[in-house]
Amino acid sequence: MHRLVRSSGARKPKRRWKWMLKTIVYTGLLGLCALGISLMYLYQSDLPLADSDRNSQLLDRNGKIVAAFSDGTRNQERVPLSDISPWLIQATLAIEDRQFYKHVGFDIKGMARAALINIKEMNKVQGASTLTQQLARNLYLSHERTWSRKLKEAMYTAQLEMKYDKDKILQMYLNEIYYGHGAYGVEAASQMYFGKHAKDLSLAESAMLAGVPKGPTYYSPYNHMKNAKDRQKTILSSMVVTEQITQAQADQAYGEMLSFRSQQQRTTLSKAPYFRDYVRSVVINELGIDENMLEHGGLNIYTTLDMDAQQAAEDAVKSELNGSPDLEAALVSIDPRSGEIKALVGGANYVQSQYNHVFATTRQPGSSFKPIMYLSALASGELTSASKFSSEPTLFHYDNNRKTYSPKNFGDKYLGEIDMRQAIAASDNIYAVNTILKIGSDQVIELARKMGITSPLKAVPSLALGTSPVSPFEMASAFAVIGNQGRSVKPLAILKITDENGHILYEAAPPKSEKVVEPSAAYVLTHLMESVFETGGTGNRVSAEIKRPVAGKTGTTSSDAWLVGFTPELSTAVWVGYDKGKTLGTAESRKAAPIFAKYTEKALEKIPPKIFPIPDHVVSVYIDPSSGKLATADCPDKKLEVFVQGTEPTEYCSEHGEGEPPPEPLPVKEKAESRSWWSDLKRWWMD
């Protein structure tokens, strides 16, 4: 009997298949574990800092972007997706990544399709990078073509998809992509090419702009309009294919004539450039932030700038200097109560000259300096509103009679016996020199320092006439003290600085005010300075343009014209002059006042007119203008004048008989109730 012997070789294939199956399963499980661990690692890992420059941004007091800080090579302003035109979003997705909202960072079908086309053509003719991949490349990687870079790109792409939703990724992409000519992001590009915000782009403009990133030089409408139009047509066709628009809309958009900014306009894109330069100086020199950090650290610098006021300032300067070659101007406006700088214009044309005249300490203020001296006289009680001096040609002796000084009035016009109100309104030089010789120049300088004047001041009689150079910034600061009832608040430009993640790096302390003079003295001077804009005042020419209570003082030298003034809300200094020693003609010397008037009205057009708040210890009395004493019923002329309580006249006029005296002096507050309009204010002290 034969025994069948089973061959061992028959069992080997079966064992081999079992082993292979186990290997595949285990390998798959290990792969899944590795993938899970990798994904968990990527999710928990922080993305690296972006390699691209992160321009710091200057924002106004309402959080709106004003300008970017850069070394001049990169212009970028980041905006939320809601501030980008839907047409631009659709155009970008149609040409760059149609499956953006469907894939997870990698378009597998697109990659396969591109690979087949490239193999067929034996050349790389089509890519398949998604928006997320492009963003990862732009943010974190160099442009070298290596396998390690490709691996990093895939890793960062996966991280971006895990950490951010699609809208955030799209927003980041549109704010980072390069559009040529130094413009990064859609907002900067929209402003550069079309002079408008990204949210306001039309379909035609959006299709043109969306085509630029593929070749910022080749498809730039400034460099190659034909290439740009061809690219625009391709994008419009893609939008038709994706059913974003109809063919009729595409044809209409393609045929639309677009208006691009000129080279001159492109170089003046930055808003408030002089203010931006000032903020840069403060950030670096006062706050100690490194310049490289400022330009590339992605900081958000929240400022006090009021863009409505800033635009009003720029428009006022431009309108008055139009057609005046080489004539320069400066305007700075400060909130007297908080010290916040609301507007700043440092020159006529930033492109032509970046020199900031707001801080130039080489210009004589002329008669605009006089209120500082008069405030010293009123605060000390040495003079009052009714104090009189004779306005006539005078040779003054000073320094123990060792020196003489003989000032003149403009046009050799002298008014005889005048009081302080008349002297301020007419800008009388003789009255001013009499005042400084009576109270002492050292006392004036001491007060000027407390009011914010830091420039050197010479203790000579001519100081009363503004012969010591100061800056517009100092003058606006000093007048803010008068407008703030005698209290000084340090001027402020920066409210807060945060990093790109919102962490606060610096925050300004709440404003602190210091008492410089009594509120009553500041108010009396304010009341007197309102006369500058009345009939006979040096600012009377622009009084019709200002529909609210305003106080101020003009100042004119051979090469400088000033108007420094204030309302309850703003203290503003305006200077006009030449840089090259050229003297001002009559027309040029009259430009500061219209600039001030136009700016003030426009900047405050949304704010109802307010009278200056009247503090305690101020009284009003009827006086006889000729004698300066209390008026009687027999005085033919009477005017209502304000005084610091206790300094008002006590003697009655005896020049017009022995008439009965009028009622007792009343506190100004009782009279103020009937003053609701500027026109009422004009009649307030009239009989």
Q: Please pick, among 85, 129, 238, 367, the residue that the annotation labels catalytic.
A: 367
Write the DSSP assignment of 202-248 as a string of letters: -HHHHHHHHTSTT-TTTT-TTT-HHHHHHHHHHHHHHHHHTTSS-HH
Write the DSSP assignment of 155-170 as a string of letters: HHHHHHHHHS-HHHHH
Work out the end-to-end distance of the chain between its first and last CA atoms, rounded to an integer number of angstroms. Answer: 153
How many Å is the Cα radius of gyration of the chain? 36
Residue 186 CB contacts under 8 Å (≥ 6 apart), including other chains: 79, 84, 88, 174, 175, 177, 179, 198, 209
- Do the beta carbons of residue 471 and residue 278 sit within 8 Å? no
CA dist 510 and 33 (Å) reads 56
C-alpha distance from residue 504 to each of 57, 60, 500, 579 (Å) = 14, 17, 10, 41
- Do the beta carbons of residue 76 and residue 52 sit within 8 Å? no
C-alpha distance from residue 292 to each of 275, 452, 482, 669 (Å) = 19, 32, 40, 56
Structural tokens at position 269:
């894109």
- Indicate if 367 belongs to the active site: yes
- Burial annotation 592-616 (CB, 10 A radius, 16+ → b, else e): bbbbbbbbbbbbbeeeebebbebbe
Residue 666 three-state SS: strand
Taking Cα atoms as reference points, which of 479, 478, 476, 510 lies closest to residue 496?
Answer: 510
Taking Cα atoms as reference points, which of 417, 449, 448, 446 lies closest to residue 434?
Answer: 417
CA dist 188 and 345 (Å) reads 23
Residue 332 CB contacts under 8 Å (≥ 6 apart), including other chains: 341, 343, 344, 345, 358, 472, 473, 476, 572, 573
CA dist 421 and 481 (Å) reads 20
Taking Cα atoms as reference points, which of 151, 149, 159, 200 lies closest to residue 46?
Answer: 159
Taking Cα atoms as reference points, which of 183, 185, 135, 142 lies closest to residue 159?
Answer: 135
- Burial annotation 124-159 (CB, 10 A radius, 16+ → b, else e): eeeebbbbbbbbbbbbbbeeeeeeeeeebbebbbbb
Q: Please pick, among 77, 96, 187, 295, the residue that the annotation labels catalytic.
A: 96
CA dist 236 and 244 (Å) reads 9
- Indicate if 96 belongs to the active site: yes
323: left (phi over 0), alpha (psi -120 to 50) or beta: left
CA dist 368 and 86 (Å) reads 53
Taking Cα atoms as reference points, which of 172, 177, 102, 174 lies closest to residue 138?
Answer: 177
Q: Kindly list the catalytic residues.
A: 96, 367
